[in-house]
Amino acid sequence: MSIWYSPHPKAFLREICMVLATEKEHCAVSVPQYLLSSFRDELISYGRKSLGKLRIPQIDPQSSLEQNLCPLFIFPYGDEANIAALPEATLSECRTLVIFLPETPLPWEDEFFTFVDHMVAYAKFCKDQDIHMPWSLLLVVPAGRRMPREDIGLSVFHWWGRLHVSDLEYAIERALGAAETEEKHLYYWFYALCKGLASSDPGLVDFFLEELPTDMDSLVNALSQHELHTRENGQLVLSYLNAPPCHLDRYAPPQGIVATLWHRGILDINCYGRTALHPAALLAAGQTAELERLAVSGQMQVFLPLAQEIHSLLYRKIEQILGPGWDSLNAENFPALDSEIGPLSYYIYTHYKSQLPIFLINTAKHWRDLRNNIAHANMIPFEEALQAVRDYLYLLEDQ
C-alpha cells in the first residue's frame, strides 16, 4: 500500500490541493526522494478530483528554462513567448502546472528560482486585486534541496514530522484485509512486528506481508533485500549515531547530516517529535541489537495488554468452575494473584491442577512464559507466540 493512502499523508495531499484550488496561491512541497515516485502517483490520482487535469512536464536539464516551460503555454496574440510573460499566460489544457525538480541541481537553477519569485510576486498582486491567477504552480522538491521561502502567494509544505500512530494502524488493517487470511493467530505476530519496526515507514507493512519474518534471522534476511539497505546508507546512519545529539523540531526541516538522512527516507520524526531511523538502514549500519529492541518493543505493545486480558478471562472462567472463594487458599503467598498472570499460573497449578481442565492450566503457563520473555526484553519465539494466541482465541470463544 502506498503511504499516501494513510490518513495523515492523505491529509497532507488534501491540504496542498485545497490551497491550489483557491487559484490565489502557488505551492512548494518538499518530499524525501524515497517517497517521490509514490507521491507523484497519488498526486495525479487525488489531484485530478479536486483540481482537474495536472500538467507535469518532463524537465530536460540540457534545455534552457524557457525551452522547458514556454511550449506549455498559450500567449496572447502578438506577445512574445518568454519567461517574464508566463504569469499572465494561459496554461494549455489545465490550470495547474506541477514541476518535479530532479535530485541534482539544474544548470539553470538560479534562473528558475528567480522565476518562482516572479510568480509569487504576481500571486501577491492577484490577492491584492482579489482576482484569480490564470494558473497555479506546484513545485515538488526532493527533501533537503533548495526550497523557496514561504510568502504571501506561496505556501510551503514539508513532509517531515507528520506521521501519526493511526497511519501505521491503517496500513496494517488495510494490508491484512487485502490478504484475507483465515489464520487469525498470525495477525498478532504480524501486528506486533509492524508496531515495532514500521513506525517510520508504513510501506514496510506490505514488505513484511510478502515474506513474514518469524525470528531475527529471517527479519535480517528480509531487511537486507530492502532498497534502503545500502553500504552508503549504513555509513550515514553510523555518522548520525556517533555525532553529538541534536534537537529536532517537527515544525522546522532538519539541517546537515539529518537533512541528508531525511532526503534518503532514512530518518523522520513522528507527530510527537519522536525520532525514527529506518530499519533497513539500521541493519546496513550493523545495528542488529537495535532492530531486536524495536521488535521487542512492538511485542510489548501488543502482547502485554493481551496478557492482562488473558488473566481476566482465566480468573472469570475458573470462578465459574470452582465457585467463589477459590482464590483464598494460602493466598498470602500469592499477593498478586488477582492482577498478574504469573502468580495465577503457579496458584492454579499448585492447588487445582486436578480440578481444572488441562487447557486452562496450559493457557496460564503459556501466557506466564510469554509474559516473562517480554519482561526480560527477549523477543518472543514465533511458535510460542502463536500457541499463546491460539489459547487466547479459544478462551474468547468459550466465554
Q: How does pLDDT run across 235-287, given as a tens digit for each residue?
A: 999 999 999 888 888 888 898 899 999 999 999 988 888 888 999 999 999 99
- Distance CA(266)–CA(9), nearest Å, equals 17
Do 116 and 79 contact (CB within 8 A), yes or no?
A: no
In Å, how far from its chain's centre is CA 181? 23
Do 291 and 220 contact (CB within 8 A), yes or no?
A: yes
136: phi then psi, degrees, rounded to nearest 5: -120, 150
Q: What percent of the chain has pLDDT over 70?
A: 96
Do 26 and 15 contact (CB within 8 A), yes or no?
A: no
Q: With CA atoms as reference, report the closest residue to 26 among 171, 154, 121.
A: 154
- The per-residue pLDDT for 210 is 87
- Distance CA(127)–CA(25), nearest Å, equals 8
Average pLDDT, the chain: 91
Q: Which residues pair with 97 in a beta bridge?
A: 55, 137
In CATH, what class is 3-158?
alpha beta
Q: With CA atoms as reference, report the closest residue to 171 among 206, 200, 197.
A: 206
Residue spans of the domains in the chain: they are 3-158, 165-286, 291-397
Q: pLDDT tens digits for 21-65?
A: 999 999 999 999 999 999 999 999 998 888 989 999 999 999 999
Q: Structure pTM?
A: 0.88
- The per-residue pLDDT for 179 is 55
- The per-residue pLDDT for 114 is 95
| Position 182 pLDDT exceeds 70 | no
| Position 181 pLDDT exceeds 60 | no
